[in-house]
């Protein structure tokens, strides 16, 4: 893993070494082992910070050029099939001077041009300068594990792994993009390609970007769209179990390649347990595993299940217990995300990454199992609601209002109210309602900002994917939307920023491309059968899983914020959100936020996730005003 950045001045104004070093300094946490810059053409500069994983020698230094110095690359990620590609390229005449996967991308580009992306299997983001074509070629991996942001202005074009590296360029303005606020309130993150900064965009997953001297507007093109790649299949149950097991095993095997210590996150859930179980079969030494729990609320402590899995596979296991003081991480989390980020599970993700990095440099995780095999309860809810008569779904609205009034601290009633409210809506809107923090952002925005709420920004990507796969089943469409939106905008962002804050590389075997395209093409009943989720995945590894984990229901990677906000963190919550000088007052209605705080503290409703999203918004506004979102040293 690494940090990358690049600049192209249209006027050919020199890109100074000092500027590149200042940009790279913002990314040093992503790559603490090495740093480099290059200026391969007038007005063009590239910067890189390296976390050495494969080929630890100086031969893996970046920016890296081909032998003729006509192509230069800065790259962040891992290409899992790089050895196979290397052999193929050598047979075609390529001469290698390193053992790194970075050089494989360079030679692949020389042979296949932009189509080299079709040959790359991995997680990556890169920028490649082609001196012959006088063009910049950028790309991001298929599901968006690795980030890439860019700015397009009248005299400068720039890209980077994180927004903070762009903001040190004097030609890039630091201005809030208010149009992103309603989407953030709805989702808890800003969906691509938007960001909270005016003029700064994020390259969507599975897309490439080409910029040339002749055409100074970036041309963004998808090279992988999951709903167009998946082919429906009808294998027997036995065939599907065999193939799923083979694909998962091969995906784990590919991700064990590293020249540094390697381990795994182990939550005690189905997915991470499968990954660790397969690792234990493939490795000739005990797997080093890491898990995290929470004090004060046993419902959020999965360490008991993690211990069961650790004993089953004989791992070298380490645990960490989070105290409410973890709230003090708020400033640090916002700094590393560059934007407000509403998912409170960033707290354990950050702490788990810090603990893990003390012992290993690479950690495998179980991300992706829910996305491929319908592991979230909301999928079952959306599918079952579609089978209810229309009159029943319409009446659910009235039931939802009554349940909401009774819910109080009872999470089950609150969830039922949300389900009843969503049931009456069309499928795409139903999924949105079940996942949104604020389904109607105008209820908390200042009246003069209510015009920023646009349905196409809140729901555009949801409907687009539903419409792009007209022949798909309802479940398949829900999975496509979740993969493109929640996985890319929330889970991948959280995992990348929290792990890279500590220079830890994380790998997700269950998001292997071959596994994605096979699993999503399986019949719905092999993923979701009634309320039983991840059917074929459970069955494929039935002999490997401990019984306690095989039959566990879904339990998210959450934190007991609801209880913390009413007890040990009560004063801190009020201090930040009810401050008369709070920064959010410029954008949100005071009475709406006050009501959320009061209802939560009185136990009338559980607004913990909404309140956390507002806390991260307030913290970002404060840090930005104080100039604390950038490192001060060059």
Inter-residue contact 527 to 535 (CB < 8 Å): yes
Phi, psi of 217 (to 5 degrees): -105, 130
Torsion from C-alpha of 223, 370, 617, 504, nearest 10 degrees: -80
Tell me the DSSP string of 601-634.
Answer: HHTSS--HHHHHHHHHHHHHHHHHHTTTTS-S--
Contact 125/80 with Cβ under 8 angstroms? no
Task: List CB contacts of 443: < 8 A, sequence separation 6 or more.
Answer: 592
- The answer to whether the beta carbons of residues 135 and 212 sit under 8 Å apart is yes
Are the C-beta atoms of 507 and 363 separated by less than 8 Å?
Answer: yes
Task: Give the number of residues written for the chain.
Answer: 634
For residue 19, CA distances in Å to 16, 24, 358 come to 5, 9, 32
The answer to whether the beta carbons of residues 616 and 341 sit under 8 Å apart is yes
Q: How far is CA 406 from the centre of its chain?
A: 35
Six-digit token pair at 277?
């179980």
Q: Which of 2, 138, 207, 420 is catalytic?
A: 2
Scan for tokens 């940090």, then name that residue: 3
The position carrying tokens 């959010």 is: 584
Write the burial class of residue 628 (CB in 10 Å: 0-12 exposed, 13-18 middle, 19+ buried): middle
Q: At what angle do helices 608-625 and 330-337 cross, to 10 degrees?
A: 70
Beta bridge partners of residue 212, listed in sequence order:
135
Q: For residue 467, what are its two tokens?
A: 């419409």
- Using alpha carbons, select from 467, 465, 438, 463 the residue that is nearest to residue 453: 438
- 5 as an active site residue: the answer is no
- The alpha-helical segments, DSSP class H, found in 226-294 are 226-229, 237-254, 270-282
Distance CA 485, CA 489 (A): 6
* Calpha distance 97→64 (Å, rounded): 11
Strand partners of residue 384: none
For 418, 427, 481, the CA distances from 385, given in Å and listed in that order, are 12, 9, 18
Peptide bond before 63: cis, by omega within 30 degrees of 0?
yes
Q: Which two tokens stand for residue 482?
A: 């979740």
Separation between Cα atoms, residue 378 and residue 386, nearest integer Å? 12
Structure tokens at 461: 């990507």
Q: How remote is the C-alpha of 305 from its chain's centroid?
A: 25
Query: What are the helix (H) ranges across 255-317?
Result: 270-282, 303-313
Q: Is the dihedral of CA 246, 267, 511, 386 positive or negative?
A: positive
Residue 529 CA neighbour count, 13 Å, CB half: 11
**CB-CB contact of 344 with 401 (8 Å):** no
- Total Cβ atoms within 10 A of residue 600: 22
The closest of 280, 228, 120, 237 to 468, measured between CA atoms, is 228
Which residues are known catalytic residues? Answer: 2
């Amino acid at each position: 893993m690494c940090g990358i950045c690049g600049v192209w001045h249209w006027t050919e104004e020199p890109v100074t070494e000092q500027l590149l070093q200042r940009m790279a300094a913002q990314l040093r946490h992503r790559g603490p082992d090495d740093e480099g810059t290059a200026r391969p053409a007038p007005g063009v500069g590239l910067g890189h910070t390296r976390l050495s994983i494969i080929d630890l020698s100086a031969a893996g230094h970046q920016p890296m050029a081909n032998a003729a110095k006509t192509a230069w690359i800065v790259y962040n990620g891992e290409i899992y099939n790089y050895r196979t590609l290397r052999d193929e390229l050598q047979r075609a005449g390529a001469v290698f001077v390193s053992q790194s996967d970075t050089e494989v991308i360079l030679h692949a580009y020389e042979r296949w041009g932009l189509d080299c992306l079709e040959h790359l299997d991995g997680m990556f983001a890169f920028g490649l300068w082609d001196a012959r074509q006088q063009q910049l070629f950028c790309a991001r991996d298929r599901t968006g594990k690795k980030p890439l942001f860019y700015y397009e202005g009248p005299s400068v074009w720039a890209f980077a792994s994180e927004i903070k590296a762009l903001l040190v360029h004097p030609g890039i303005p630091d201005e809030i993009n208010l149009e992103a606020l309603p989407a953030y309130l709805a989702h808890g993150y800003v969906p691509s390609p938007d960001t909270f900064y005016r003029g700064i965009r994020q390259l969507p997953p599975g897309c490439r970007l080409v910029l040339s001297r002749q055409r100074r507007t970036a041309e963004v093109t998808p090279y992988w769209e999951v709903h167009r790649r998946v082919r429906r299949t009808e294998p027997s149950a036995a065939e599907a179990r065999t193939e799923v097991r083979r694909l998962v095993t091969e995906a784990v095997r590919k991700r064990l390649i590293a020249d540094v210590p390697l381990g795994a996150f182990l939550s005690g859930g189905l997915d991470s347990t499968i990954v660790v179980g397969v690792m234990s079969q493939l490795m000739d030494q005990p797997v080093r595993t890491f898990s995290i729990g929470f004090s004060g609320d046993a419902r959020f402590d999965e360490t008991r299940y993690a211990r069961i899995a650790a004993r089953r596979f004989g791992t070298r296991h380490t645990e960490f217990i989070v105290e409410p003081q973890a709230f003090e991480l708020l400033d640090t989390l916002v700094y590393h995300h560059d934007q407000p980020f509403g998912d409170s599970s960033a707290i354990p993700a950050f702490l788990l990454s810090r603990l893990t990095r003390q012992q290993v440099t690479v950690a495998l995780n179980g991300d992706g199992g829910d996305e491929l095999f319908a592991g979230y309860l909301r999928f079952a809810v959306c599918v079952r609601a579609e089978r209810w008569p229309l009159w029943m779904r319409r009446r659910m609205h009235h039931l939802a209002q009554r349940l909401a009034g009774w819910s109080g601290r009872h999470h089950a009633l609150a969830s039922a109210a949300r389900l009843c409210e969503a049931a009456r809506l069309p499928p795409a809107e139903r999924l949105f309602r079940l996942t949104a923090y604020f389904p109607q952002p105008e209820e908390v925005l200042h009246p003069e900002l209510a015009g920023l709420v646009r349905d196409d920004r809140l729901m555009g990507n949801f409907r687009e994917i539903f419409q792009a796969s007209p022949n798909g089943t309802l479940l398949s469409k829900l999975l496509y939307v979740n993969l493109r939106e929640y996985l890319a905008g929330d889970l991948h962002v959280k995992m990348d920023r929290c792990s890279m804050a500590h220079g830890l590389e994380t790998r997700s075997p269950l998001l292997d491309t071959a596994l994605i395209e096979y699993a999503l093409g399986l019949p719905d009943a092999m993923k979701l059968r009634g309320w039983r989720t991840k059917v074929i995945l459970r069955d494929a590894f039935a002999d490997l899983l401990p019984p306690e984990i095989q039959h566990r229901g879904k339990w998210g990677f959450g934190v007991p914020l609801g209880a913390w906000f009413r007890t040990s963190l009560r004063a801190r919550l009020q201090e930040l959100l009810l401050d008369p000088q709070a920064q959010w007052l410029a954008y949100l209605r005071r009475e709406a936020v006050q009501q959320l705080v009061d209802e939560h503290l009185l136990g009338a409703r559980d607004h913990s996730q909404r309140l956390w999203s507002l806390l991260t918004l307030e913290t970002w506004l404060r840090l930005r005003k104080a100039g604390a979102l950038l490192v001060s040293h060059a």
